[in-house]
Structure 1
């Protein structure tokens, strides 16, 4: 019977075998044979302890020599014992050692399972709280939600769109244009963010696309996190698209969709991104954007944006 094994080998069968061997020792009539077998059993237990706990950690088994034990031996009177009482005492010690080894093995297995769970979570990009090492209960597997991924996969290429080229310096607007722009009233409702966005919308709606681009960019810069940011980024992209600048428009549409896939106008931006790609002659990316929209926003594909979705799909061959 070999006892030199890993902690996980301490199964109930092995523990039962050890206790059974000890009982056989008690039942053996020959005292010399009992002592020899008991000595061998104790040596095996001691070797097992050192294999499980290298270094002789005193938390799990006591050292063979202690100063205080020497002092006690000096003052404690000798007690006469019989061979049977010696065997019973040694059996009690063996049972105590086995109990400590069993408990330590369970702790080690528990910690190992927790570490494996934490490693698996880290490899899949999840997070495991620090206290998770105290339990081996695995975390439930998250159920994938039907929501847009926020990333448009582009095979063999980076999905990042190139930055828009620098715009040539614009000529000074005419007096008539300045007067027309000034005629558009900027609202004052007490919500400055809402007022800035609404003013940009009015400029775009009136066809003043460069002015709308400037106003909406100012709104997004001054009011990050405003409830209308998704609308503002989408409208900024439309101001560039309507001005005949599809590449600059695509940059803003992609940013709006990627930054908040659940935003109020994220789905719209995905379709306008496809329209921008069609205008640039990039059919492949247009098809990717349309496929992402159909998968991520099935309700809108048959609802509010159905006509635009089907119209764009008819303009490209995605088969």
Structure 2
């Protein structure tokens, strides 16, 4: 074979070999395209099943096309509907809380108006008529029998002397001022009743305090605040210039429980009520009983008041 013929054969083979290369590549490209189209069709069918669209019950997929595949933003933890529902729940809770508070305030105002209305009728009555002078008998101390008998007799004339003249109703200004004094609202209703009476007394509304404290001691006779209530009730009468009405409450509180927190105070205020009534002999009896029963308190917590009362009278 001549060199010219050999070169011609080599050229033909080269052309054939070059022309034959694209055929497998084209076949592979066609197969890949078909596979891609098949996958895309299956994904679209799957999406139609899981995410049926705006008319269905599910939301649209978060990634629906190539335009979103490159996004790196994190998916929101909640949806707009979830946020709205949470805010509505919070608003409903706040409305319920405000409604409950409004009902409590309305109830408290209603009770106050009822007390004030009753006050116009009952403020002229003397609660001291129920103060038990008879309760005191038999409760005397072992060391002062004669003095105790005299103390028990102190309230004998108090009830009759305590008759009050009918009083006119409170003015609108006074009613408004009383309404400014809020009644506590805690989980201890007895303490709330006493505290409200204390606030009335502290503000100088003595008739209103008398009525409130009488309500407390009658409704809660065994409450731990009762010794405070009876003592303060006596003071409400004493501060209003009515020692005859004050004395039975002081004596009752002292004799109910001589170890109670306000028993010594009541005995000393009893002496003060007798001094205000110009009953020197009974004032001296009360002072002597106080010094004998409560020597530590007479020399300590109530020493100033005790000495002041002793200077007001001359005792044998």
What TM-score results when the alignment is normalised by the length of structure 1?
A: 0.52
- Identify if the C-alpha distance between structure 1 residues 150 and 221 changes in structure 2 by more than 3 Å, giving closer, same or farther: farther
Q: Deviations over 1:110-146 (max 9, x none)?
A: xxxxxxxxxxxxxxx9xxxxxxxxxxxxxxxxxxx99
Partner of 1:161: 156
**Structure 1 position 250 matched with structure 2 position 247:** yes
| 1:87-236 equivalent positions in 2, closer than 5 A | 152-154=148-150, 158-162=153-157, 163=159, 164-236=161-233
Q: Indicate the RMSD between aligned Cα atoms, in angstroms.
A: 2.4
CA contact (8 A) 1:301 1:309 kept: yes
Partner of 2:256: 259
**Structure 1 position 287 matched with structure 2 position 279:** no
CA contact (8 A) 1:213 1:240 kept: yes
CA contact (8 A) 1:150 1:257 kept: no
Aligned counterparts of 1:259 and 1:230: Cα–Cα separation in 2: 9
Give SS of 2:174's match: helix
Aligned counterparts of 1:303 and 1:282: Cα–Cα separation in 2: 26
Extract unaligned runs of 5+ from structure 1.
Answer: 1-124, 126-144
Aligned counterparts of 1:268 and 1:148: Cα–Cα separation in 2: 18
Q: Deviations over 1:218-257 (max 9, x none)?
A: 0111111000111000000000000010000011111111
Give SS of 2:183's match: coil
1:153 to partner: Cα distance: 3.6
1:166 to partner: Cα distance: 2.4
Aligned counterparts of 1:269 and 1:232: Cα–Cα separation in 2: 11
CA contact (8 A) 2:147 2:285 kept: no
Structure with larger Rg: 2
Extract unaligned runs of 5+ from structure 2.
Answer: 1-137
Count of residues in Structure 1 that have an aligned counterpart in Structure 2:
175
Aligned counterparts of 2:224 and 2:155: Cα–Cα separation in 1: 26
**Structure 1 position 269 matched with structure 2 position 266:** yes
CA contact (8 A) 1:184 1:202 kept: yes
- Identify if the C-alpha distance between structure 1 residues 217 and 150 changes in structure 2 by more than 3 Å, giving closer, same or farther: farther
1:147 to partner: Cα distance: 8.4
